[in-house]
A and B are shown apart, each in its own frame.
Chain A
Amino acid sequence: MQVFHRSTNVISRFTIFGGLFLLGALTFGLATVNRSSWVTRQGIAREQPVQFSHMHHAGELGIDCRYCHTTVERLAYAGMPPTQTCMNCHSQIWRDSPVLEPVRSSWRTGESLQWIKVYDLPGYVYFNHSIHVAKGVGCATCHGDVTKMNVLWQAPSLQMEWCLDCHRHPARYVRPREHVFDMKWQPPAEQLALGLQLIADYDIRPRTDCSACHR
């Protein structure tokens, strides 16, 4: 005996496949949103209390990264410069620039400048700059060519898949140590061969264990 009408077959097929499609679309949609720059903030320039230009300082003037980020070779934190570092020069030049008023005000009052964190890792991730610098990971590999950034933005997605890509295939990314702070360095055509050579020379053994970054 036929309990359901024949058309039920169509409806049920539609429901089943449609449901599966919807589920797939939803998953895809969520994954896309999750990877989008709305979530990751990748490539979005961030307004800062002082419109500090890496392009001008690091690019046009050619100031070394380590002039301000002093502990990058030694510690987990690269180091944020104290107001004093700004005033080293700006007590002499651009003394009256209105753009620098927050810096002078900080210097006068002793109140710290409050920068917006551009590279903001989640609290459960413990990143160490010094070991990356020591093993030939260039600043630009993660931070992009800051000499082209008038206002700084986050170059990579900073998602774990991005970290793991390099940790799994370091040969694609490492460079000679002497070029770590060189923003203009371009990987040679035979980067893979160079990378493998550097991996041997620098004893590069990136860890992919959870405990490498999470504790």
Chain B
Amino acid sequence: MKDEGTKESMAAHDFASLRERLTGSGREYWRSLEELAGSPEFEELLHREFPRQAEAMFEGRATVDRRDFLRLMGASLALAGLGACTRQPAEKVVPYVKAPEDIVPGEPLFFATAMPLGGAATGLLVESHTGRPTKIEGNPSHPASFGATDAFAQASILTLYDPDRAQVVRRVGEILPWPAFVQAFTTIAEAARASQGAGLRILSGTVASPTLAAQMRELETALPQARWHQYEPISRDAARAGAQLAFGRPVDLVHRLDHADVILSLDADFLVGGRGAVRQARDFASRRRPTPDAPEMSRLWVVESSPSPTGARADQRLALPPSQIIQLTRALAARLGVGTEAGAAMAPHRAWVDALAADLRSHPKRGAVLVGDQQPAAVHALAHAINQRLGNLGETVVAIEPIEAKPVDQTKDLRELVDAMRAGEVETLVLIDSNPVYDAPADLDFAGALSRVKRTIALGLYTDETAIRCHWHLPMAHYLESWGDARAFDGTVTILQPLIEPLYGGKTPSEIVEILLGRPPRSAHDLVRDHWQKERPGADFDRFWERALNDGVVAGTASPAVRVALQGSGIGADVAPAAVGDPEQVEVLFRPDRKVYDGRFANNAWLQELPDALTKVTWDNAVLIAPALAERRGLGNGDVVELELGGRKVAAPVWSTPGHADGCVTLPLGYGRSRAGRVGNGVGFDAYVLRVSTAPDSAPGLSMRPTGERRELACTQTHHSLEGRPIVLGASLDEFRGHPDFVHELVHHPDKEETLLPNWPYEGHAWAMAIDLNACVGCNACIVACQSENNIPVVGREQVANGREMQWIRLDRYYSGELDAPDTHFQPMLCQHCERAPCEVVCPVNATVHDGEGLNVMVYNRCVGTRYCSNNCPYKVRRFNFFFFSDWTTESLKLQRNPNVTVRSRGVMEKCTYCVQRINRGRIDARREGRPLRDGEVRTACQQVCPAEAITFGDMNDPESRVARAKANPRNYSVLADLNTRPRTTYLAEVHNPDPKLAKGKT
């Protein structure tokens, strides 16, 4: 797609004919618009097993002639022969001088800690090999984790070892030792105390750490003139204001989705990425597992503007632009007897709202209305009122004391800071782990205000856009290097303990603030410990402390539930009706990106290369628009448009996203960074440029003008297409009740004896996996967990565009139904470990072989890279190492590697191994102890991380094992079963629960 000729045909799709094709097609599944349109590029990709992979050596040349071919073949043969002649160099064994207790080489230790993000933390257990953390797991006893994590937490280990992190203390570019800063900062602190803190300002993210919060309060008492501001670009201001509006006080909400029969999400992507999402996904999925004995499940209604994983799981989904979501909420509230106005604008969706209201009303105390953080305060308030009216409050929706130390309107807080800076009132500004030059609202012009401040000190992980403009820049300790404390979404405290000494001498926020308090510098450990000693006085403190560190949770610290009552009845009445604007203009939504969040993970290559759950775009963000809007404007995927909002402009490529609401576009934040590091610099476009403090979440009046340019995005959705075969299967709950074994009517599972080759006996274990498609929420955590566990390299944007991504798991996303309101399906696709594996029989060097427990094994050092196996794999789950994708040179990255997995080199095929290193470990442990291997003792990395517990793994030969029971579910089916490959990985078909009153649910 690099040459000009094909670009033309990539232009706008013929949407009218696509629609026509989909009309009445019923349950046809499709993956992308290109596939649906049958565009030439897609055909090209499809008809070549490895799209443009063979050209690796001859990039830029049209053909290879015979002489070149022979020359290369001869050279490769000779080199391969010579390469085998190397003698293994002598290696050294370097034992300890004094062996530390508990640390033994080869035996990993696990330490409990937590990862704070946006004020709330997820509890973790981090695997450590002789002092270097290698892999992150969830903490089973932590309420926000229950043993699972999200993709951010999985990838954070890479940030720890990022060679681009800030490594030295700098004063205007000059490298200084830490004591020099302490000395300078002590002088500043003394001066500040003399003036009661006048002119001293601190800016940090949301403060929820109890230790830091205590320091903050102390600082405000000791220096009454000083001010501590908080700002998170992904703010919860609207949620805070909504609680204030409804209850007259700030509260946080905890949702008990395992008790909810009917769930309504008002633009809340509560399953992925947000606060408490890991726990919510688990609770939600626990009610989505119908069996023939109990064919029951919850119903999820979703109203949203931009397609989200939560929307993909919806039983009833409605796509509306932001201005209409509030109208719909009012209309719904009116039907439920809250508020008065019926919302005339909702006429086209009256039946939908009626059905929704009836469903909610018929499940009092068993429903839950959730609102996204980006919705205006009025929607939050209305939802509170609805929850109260339906009796949900206190049952499925529990109000608790806010976990933040000081709930404030952060946008306002930042504006006040900037005003003071501009007025010259700020002498000293301490920036703690924040990057406002990049992520503050554009109208505040933080960079401009920053230059008016006499002394600026930035503590951060990277020398980012803000740090480079500050006088002092201090490297911050990564959370895996820090002592600290943090609170989960429900308030539960975890003491953060470091897994490793700070690699670059980083400091924690508490250590900096301590100096500001006029005390001699103390270690973060002492600060946290002393804080808790004050909290828990008593002789048994040591026991408390050790227990807290060991468990990863401090018992009894969950925020207490609070009784709240609605204030007044006029909630939502003051909402202005949707403005009728210029038809050329659309509404704009600013959303945290599902990969780089607010931009802080921009330099994390695992996340950059992660295909977005819905768009499947890697290494980029794009303006997400509805196909209908693209059709009206004549825009094709990748067409660059100039966006203008209130006089601010940015150019960005568009991406048609089926299911996006018409009349609005989504701009994912967090890209277009200039000082993220060598991975994140210049990736994507910066949507913060258009974002202003008065409308940080959505705004009307965006104009979009094609520039005529194109940018090709590295999207994986067209790679490895599976054609029109029955890949994802689903039925409605009613159909399931009538035909629990509906999958067998759709898929032919051949008889076991239908084979020419003898069957393997599989005595002993028979490893197998079952993936519940009804539970999978598309969070991508499995992909990153696999990458982290199995030393999988990243390949970069260009190689992804060439179809050479290396992730062993891909999360296939299918659409079905209408183009504008499709149903979305996720299917994690990994090596199926076929009992009759097509790859094994074609390998000329026996590099991919079967093992006695049913694993399909790759022997890397036998592989010569013919790639026949991948050609013959019907599932397209094998990955080929075209170049030296593994980083063999960066020292810090070597520390991350799993020592139990080979780091593969160039020219070798690789794929999912079912985490054979974990299987071997479990088997050896059991056999050494002379006991049978327990079910659940061996867990694959993807299974362990899955928040929704969608993946079950175990021994199929044990009829009592969880995986055997899962496979006994009539929903169980094999993908492409008619090929008689007999995959060990099977899937449990989706079952949807559409409202019977609405004709069209999910198909």
Contact = CB atoms under 8 A, between A and B. Distances in A.
Contact of B853 (A39, A113, A131, A209): A209
Given A117-B91, A124-B860, A210 B928 contact: no
A209 B92 CA distance: 29
Contact of A83 (B96, B106, B855, B916): B96
Interface string B57-101: 000000000000000000000000000000110111111111100
A178 B301 CA distance: 67
A35 interface: no
Contacts of A17: none
B90, B95, B851, B852, most chain A CB atoms within 10 A: B95
A29 to B, nearest CB: 12
Interface string A104-120: 00110011111111001
A203 interface: yes
B104 interface: yes
Given A116-B92, A130-B924, A210 B97 contact: no
Interface of B is mostly: loop
A120 B88 contact: yes
B914 to A, nearest CB: 9
A213 B928 CA distance: 16
B87, B106, B107, most chain A CB atoms within 10 A: B106
Interface in A80-105: 80-84
Contacts of A123: 902
Nearest to A118: B93
Contact of B104 (A71, A131, A210, A214): A71
Contacts of B853: 209, 211
Nearest to B917: A215
B864 interface: no
Contacts of B104: 70-71, 75, 77, 79
A80 B97 CA distance: 11
A130, A135, A210, A214, most chain B CB atoms within 10 A: A210
A135 B924 CA distance: 11
B890 interface: no
Interface residues of A, number: 44
A214 B97 contact: no
Given A83-B97, A209-B853, A128 B902 contact: no
Contact of B95 (A76, A82, A107, A210): A82
Interface string A3-35: 000000000000000000000000000000000
A66 interface: no
Nearest to B105: A77
Nearest to B100: A82
A85 to B, nearest CB: 8
A111 B900 CA distance: 27
B97 A122 contact: no
A164 interface: no
B861 interface: yes
A70 to B, nearest CB: 8
A212 B93 CA distance: 24
A83 B87 CA distance: 30
- Contact-residue size bin, chain B (C-beta under 8 Å from the other chain): 35 or more
A207 interface: yes
A79 B105 contact: yes
Contacts of B91: 116-117, 120
Given A84-B97, A106-B97, A215 B900 contact: yes
Interface in B871-930: 900-902, 913, 916-917, 919-920, 924, 927-928, 930
B92 A75 contact: no
A46 B88 CA distance: 14
A135 B930 CA distance: 10
Contacts of B346: none
Contact of A80 (B95, B861, B920, B930): B95
Contacts of B927: 131, 134-135, 203, 205
Given A210-B849, A210-B857, A211-B851, A84 B98 contact: yes
A209 to B, nearest CB: 4
A126 B98 contact: no
Nearest to B915: A215
A210 B851 contact: yes
Contacts of B901: 215
A84 B99 contact: yes
A78 to B, nearest CB: 9
Interface string A39-53: 100000010000000
B852 A207 contact: yes
A112 B97 contact: yes
A177 to B, nearest CB: 11
A82 B94 CA distance: 9
Interface in B837-860: 849, 851-853, 855, 857, 859-860
Contacts of A77: 104-106
A215 B98 contact: no
Contacts of B928: 130-131, 134
A75 B87 contact: no
Given A77-B104, A131-B927, A211-B916, A117 B97 contact: no
Nearest to A107: B97
Given A203-B927, A214-B861, A81 B95 contact: yes
A117 B106 contact: no
A120 B913 CA distance: 25
Given A80-B93, A131-B927, A75 B857 contact: no
Contacts of B105: 77, 79-80
Contact of A110 (B97, B849, B851, B855): B97
12 contacts: A39-B87, A71-B107, A81-B95, A110-B97, A111-B97, A115-B95, A126-B900, A126-B920, A134-B928, A209-B853, A210-B851, A214-B857
Q: Closest 6 CB pairs between A and B?
A: A209-B851, A77-B106, A80-B95, A82-B96, A82-B99, A83-B97
Given A211-B857, A214-B861, 13 more contacts: A80-B93, A106-B97, A114-B93, A117-B90, A126-B920, A128-B924, A134-B928, A203-B927, A212-B920, A214-B857, A214-B902, A215-B901, A215-B902
